[in-house]
A and B are shown apart, each in its own frame.
Chain A
Amino acid sequence: MTRTLATGPDIRGPAAGPAPHRRPPERSALGRHQARAGMLFTAPAMVLFLVFTVLPVAGAFGLSFTAYDVLTPPSWAGLANYGRLLEDDTFLTTLKNILYYCAMFVPAMIAISLVLALALSRRLPGMAIFRTVYFIPVVTSPVAAATVWAWMLNSHYGPVNEILGYFGIPGPAWVGDGSTAMVSIVIVTLWQGVGSNMLIYLAGLQNVPAHLYEAAALDGAGRWRSFLHITWPSLRTTTFFVTTLSLIGAFQLFDQAYVMTKGGPGNTTLTPVYQIYETGFNRLQMGYASAQAFTLFIIIVAVTVINMRVNRDQVPE
């Protein structure tokens, strides 16, 4: 989660800003010095970028056509890995699992972070405190959080079922039961992620022009109608951004599944990244793991594109 957070891309492309002044390069001594400095300053970052990002992306594609066990040099396997993928029931299960997870996680994430942002955007005392409290889980270690939550969701001695009991609700076995294990992971990841998206929505809400609300109030629009006709449409880019980030993060679910359930019970929480980890690093089938990773990449790109289309269609131009 934090990783997504820290590398959150600006999906609207290069942010606006004056492009570096384009004077005819290398004409003057000053220009030459600047050009040399520019290359020198960017060199360390670019070399690392080349070795640990560009090369691996190309490598992932290349490796996916090989059989490679790390110990002996890779041998060409053609499309064999992809053929095997089509018949790999476990990988198909992981894809189903992650879609099920996304279907629960993403809508809940949007709804909760938006509602919290709307609540905390009211100019009332104490809002900053709540904002801080809701944000704390974001910086918490996912592994530690998952460990603690597994204990919180313990069916006998955990506080969650105890609290449910106060209301007469019999608590489920959570991570111990195939039908609720994924729900448990949804709860934990929501707990951990809502704070950051809430802040993004809060920033988005500040950009909604106040005069729109005034006009709506004059027209006698209630709160719900002004939300529906002003707030929600104005937050379109923000919602798109939050949805995209959540989807990309959700498809790469690993830490919580690894710590809380080990993919179980009965593979119900096995995720694609977990499977890639197993294939590549436990079974040392690097070629096949690359094919799996590349397939996941294509799926993530496809889902992002669909998400983009859906968002564009919603705009009443």
Chain B
Amino acid sequence: MKTSMTTGMTTGMTTGTATGTTARTIRLVLGRTAFYGVLSVVGLFMLLPFLWSLSTSLKPDEDIIALPIRWLPGSITFEHYWSAFTTVPFARHFANSMLLAVAGVATNVLLGALAGYAFARLAFRGNRLLFRLLLASMMVPPVVTLVPSFVIVRSMPLVGGNDIAGQGGAGLLNTYWAVILPGAVGAFAVFMMRQFFLALPKDLGEAARVDGCREFRIFWSIYLPLCRPALATLSVFTFVAGWNGFLWPLIVLNDPDMMTIQMSLAAFSFNQKTDYGPLMAGSIVAMVPTLLLFAFGQRYLTRGLAFTGTGSK
């Protein structure tokens, strides 16, 4: 695209007269202005929901329902944030979500790196087969496993009042484990870490291996420190997915105290459909953690996405 454009420009300049060049410059300036104009309109469309919800959350009630609409708050109030946190145990739900998302990051990073390393660097029976199976599982839409996973979580033996056969109680339902365990290590985490370990030089570990170093030491002290970028990418991804997750927690967590912030917000929006001030305040609170993470870890996120797109090593 760009190359064809510059080539076109240079040929134009060599053949064109002086007036032709001016006309060309004017066209270029107009074209650029239009180009940036359209990009900015699209950008505004992307940002409008954030700006509008922020504006609504800070407006007094009479400004929220006003015609014609008021883009900016006449005066700023924090009462909607106060009421969002007092009508429902929003702080508790925020903490639940944080705990679940952070636990998901920890387990995915640790177990994903361990398994990824083994698949990339260790010769053991079933290596290829297991890895292919794992890869194939990424094609299975999560909705297929929804019902049976619920049954499995509920029938976990010897927990939550269950007997050894997994009957009689609620199993892991309404515990943090119901969300942590099924999401503890995604196929994506293993796949991504394996690809990363494959790209690292092989002979790094060979010397240590010949010296009789244990495999875990080689993994932990030689290879793992080299994967910080991959671990950061995986962490950001897992946190975003965990924080934003909705359907699974909705199914396995019913106790009001165990709700995640997403569930809390959905219930709130169902019960108080017209109470827009607190609703927008709640939405802002539910959006902020991933947005903050994005602000600081943007390069890790975009890198990870490019990785899924190109499937590069």
Contact = CB atoms under 8 A, between A and B. Distances in A.
Interface of A: 2-3, 5-23, 25, 30-31, 33-39, 41-42, 44-46, 48-49, 51-60, 63, 68, 70, 116, 118-124, 126, 130-137, 139-145, 147-152, 156-159, 162, 191, 195-196, 199-200, 202-204, 207, 210, 213-214, 216-218, 221, 223, 226-227, 231, 238, 241, 248, 251-252, 254-255, 258-259, 262, 272-273, 276-277, 280-281, 286, 289-290, 293-294, 296-297, 300
Contacts, number: 374
Given A15-B312, A35-B123, A273 B143 contact: yes
A251 B141 contact: yes
A204 to B, nearest CB: 7
Contacts of A149: 49
B182 A223 contact: no
25 contacts: A2-B244, A7-B186, A12-B311, A14-B135, A17-B195, A17-B199, A44-B185, A48-B111, A48-B181, A49-B187, A54-B137, A56-B145, A59-B145, A59-B147, A130-B39, A144-B284, A152-B49, A196-B305, A199-B306, A255-B246, A273-B247, A277-B146, A281-B150, A286-B147, A286-B151
A306 to B, nearest CB: 15
Contacts of A60: 144-145, 147-148
Nearest to A44: B111
B148 A116 contact: no
B19 interface: no
A202 B303 CA distance: 12
B36, B122, B279 pick with most chain A CB within 10 angstroms: B122
A55 B148 contact: yes
A250 B39 CA distance: 26
Contacts of B68: 162
A9 B215 CA distance: 29
Contacts of A281: 150, 251
A134 B43 CA distance: 6
B209 interface: yes
Contact of B294 (A7, A58, A136): A136
B151 A136 contact: no
B124 A39 contact: yes
Interface in B3-57: 3-5, 7-8, 32, 35-36, 38-39, 42-43, 45-50, 52-53, 56
Contacts of A158: 69
Nearest to B51: A159
Contacts of A248: 141
Interface residues of B, number: 125
A17, A41, A217, A273 pick with most chain B CB within 10 angstroms: A41
A34 B123 contact: yes
B269 A147 contact: yes
Given A139-B293, A238-B309, A294 B144 contact: yes
A254 to B, nearest CB: 6
Given A10-B311, A33-B215, A144-B265, 16 more contacts: A10-B308, A20-B121, A37-B124, A41-B216, A53-B137, A56-B149, A57-B140, A57-B148, A70-B151, A135-B301, A139-B301, A143-B244, A199-B302, A214-B4, A217-B4, A252-B143
B117 A41 contact: yes
B76 interface: no
A143 B266 contact: yes
Contact of B144 (A8, A213, A227, A297): A297
A148 B53 contact: yes
B141 A300 contact: yes
Contacts of A140: 244, 287, 290-291
Contact of B305 (A199, A210, A280): A199
A200 B48 CA distance: 24
Secondary structure at the A interface, as helix, strand, loop or mixed, is helix
Nearest to A150: B269
Contacts of A51: 152
Secondary structure at the B interface, as helix, strand, loop or mixed, is helix
B49 A148 contact: yes
A15 B293 CA distance: 29
Nearest to A291: B147
B246 A142 contact: yes
Nearest to B167: A73
Interface in B232-257: 237-238, 240-241, 243-247, 250-251
Contacts of B309: 8, 199-200, 203-204, 238, 241
A191 B146 CA distance: 27
Contacts of A143: 244, 246, 262, 265-266, 286
A136 B190 CA distance: 26
A6 B199 CA distance: 21
Interface in B120-136: 120-128, 130-135
A135 B127 CA distance: 37
B7 A217 contact: yes
Contacts of A132: 298
B251 A277 contact: yes
A196 B137 CA distance: 22
Contact of B241 (A3, A53, A144, A213): A3
Contact of A37 (B122, B198, B279): B122
Contacts of A251: 141
Contacts of B64: 157
A8 B245 CA distance: 15
B65 A203 contact: no
